[in-house]
Amino acid sequence: MPASAKNSRKPAPLLAQATRKTGAWARRVESDSLRHPAQVLKAALKTWRSLRHIDMRQCFQLVDELAQDRGPELTLAFGSVVMVAAGFRRRMGRSGQAGRTREPCVVFVVKDKWPDEQGRENDPQKIPRYLLAHATVDGQRVACAIPTDVQPHEWFYGARSQGAVTLQVGLGQTAGTGAAACAVRLGVGPHAMKLLMSAHHVLSPFPDVTARLPRPGSPVSRLAPAGAQPFATSSAWGGAMRADGQPSFDVQFAKVSDWTAAKSALSGLKLSVDMAYAGSAAQVMALGEVAAFEILVPADNPGWQGGPRPVARAALDVILPDSYGFDCAVRENGAFAERHLVFTRLVRMRLLANAGQLLPGDSGSPVVARRADGSHTLIGLFIASGNDYAYAIASWQLFDTSYYARLPGDGPLVPVAA
């Protein structure tokens, strides 16, 4: 062995000592990296409080962007977290029930909530009370502390797709019933088409997850009176329903032959001239912060007993992440089955007490925000419920053609009066 190589080797005790020193240094650096300097957090909290007074729209946007962009990495970072969503803080009331506040936040959904955090302040698995992002204030980019909330996963379990009522779809073993959300126009000019929008699982009862695409040709009529003539036919246009872990899009269109009859299925919907639908998650959160949404369920659902049926009212809870799933009744390779389907960014709402209820047969109903003049802004298309919660496909997705597996042409897709 050359002398230079021999002399460069450190004795074993010195090498072990150096390893211990670098290890201790690395642990200190890691500990320091887990905390923001007090002055930075203080300024960031001040920015958030200021924004809540002067620019709530940006607050909603920051919360939504954080939940959507960092959700997967935050789920991976904390062992107890199963999902991250954009929503509102919950606080325990005197009744022992968790009530929703008006403060937007990033919601961490966990398998187990710590009963007591005392002594765990420095635990790296402790979910932070705030996440830092950058906001724009007076043209300057400044740090902003976005609040978080921890909620148990049991609150998010139990959703199931609905059946539906009011519309009779198809005949025989695979016949179903359902509601219509709205009329839409696809394209512009002489080639524009006017169609009826509903849920894929309404217009194609027991959707085929093998073929994935909507099933065309089923007659659509009113459920009552008995023997009502069809006024529309299900089309081959809509979103795909998949059981392979990729997102499903539970929307389908019907071709209408009698718009006079079709109007009766949409009689409760009056689109706002100023804002026919919410075009982003931030707009949905802004509308949901100040008032409950309404689910315009069919008045003639035969499952309803006890006089005129009220509109179901629900408070916005969270906007779910890119992948959230529940069991649906489908057909697979020709056989009926229950399969776990995944959906993208559903709007989840908590049903208000004594404010109507949801029944099997309400799928496809429009979810709306009622404006001061009595008109409606579309929030989404209702597809599922469970444990006093309702789930809807978000309005900004309904009118974005990139979500659809098959459409008859190009051009903008917009809601219109029937």
Residues 36-72 have pLDDT tens digits of 778 889 999 999 999 999 999 999 999 999 999 999 9
* Rounded Cα distance, 415 and 273, in Å: 11
**CB contact set of 96 (below 8 Å; sequence gap of 6+):** none
Predicted TM-score (pTM) of this structure: 0.86
For the segment 231-251, the average pLDDT, to the nearest whole number, is: 95
Residue 393's pLDDT is what? 98
176 has a pLDDT exceeding 70:
no
Bridge partners, residue 98, by sequence? 92
Give per-residue pLDDT as tens, 246-282: 999 999 999 999 998 888 878 789 999 999 999 999 9
How far does Cα 214 stand from its chain's mean position?
Answer: 22
The structural domains of the chain, ordered by start, are 32-114+125-152 (no CATH), 160-416 (2.40.10.10)
Q: Quick one: angle between helices 56-77 and 38-54, nearest 10?
A: 140
Strands 324-332 and 293-295: unpaired
Tokens for 123, please give them: 């635990």
Q: 3-class DSSP state for residue 269?
A: coil
Is residue 368 a contact partner of residue 293, using CB atoms and an 8 Å limit? yes
Question: How does residue 417 score in pLDDT terms, banded at 50, 70 and 90?
Answer: confident
What are the pLDDT digits (tens) for 341-376? 999 999 999 999 876 778 877 899 999 999 999 999
Q: What is the mean pLDDT of the chain?
A: 87
Higher pLDDT, 353 or 283: 283
Q: Say what the pLDDT of residue 163 is.
A: 46
